[in-house]
Amino acid sequence: MLRVMNELEQVWTQKLSEARVKAENSGRADVAEYLALRATNDMVRQTSVEWLLDSLFEIASDANRGGANVSVETENSHRFEFGNVSLVGSLCRLRQGVRCLSVEAGWTRAPADGFMRGGALAVALISHFGRSKHNAELVLISEKNAPNWFSVGKNGGRDLFDAKNLQSHFRIFLGAA
């Protein structure tokens, strides 16, 4: 579903790769190392965002096979705000009657977008239309060379966010929780 990378992302990836090769050939190992890290982080970000949104799509698809009648809308190259930071990524919106569950996930792309704090590689926002107390903010953090999504508490603490948490948000969306 969301695995198709848009044309701009393909061009960006190609340009980064060309710049890394050029830096290596000109003896700029520091620049080449930075560009290699950037490419690796972008791949981790993309894969993690895809996991989050594909997992939500799978949950909705399972519910629909049981007769839930949930519609799914997606948008790539979606721009959204998180505090003072501008993020680019994807949006998945589930609808059932007047209920709506939205998941926006992405990361900063240019210096003008701002900086993600706390070592975050990406950010995701989960929004429950009309039930904002159930909204959640997620950050993608790489710890011990493994990326994981964490929910950010009001006090700044972080809790691991996994498929069970996503299922919980889906149950809230359906009104079952």
Q: Which of 44, 52, 58, 65 is nearest to 143 (CA)?
A: 44
Distance CA 177, CA 131 (A): 12
Full-model pTM: 0.83
DSSP assignment, residue 130? T
Q: Tokens 């970000």 label which residue?
A: 45
Closest CA to 53 of 39, 73, 25, 31: 73
For residue 3, pLDDT beyond 60: no
Q: What are phi and psi of 84, to 5 degrees?
A: -95, 15
**Between β-strands 99-107 and 136-143, what pairing exists: parallel, antiparallel or unpaired?**
unpaired
Residue 2 in this model has a pLDDT that exceeds 50:
no
Please state, for a pLDDT cut of 90, what percent of the chain lies above it. Answer: 62
Res 1: pLDDT: 39
Per-residue pLDDT of 95-113, as tens digits, reads: 999 999 999 999 998 889 9
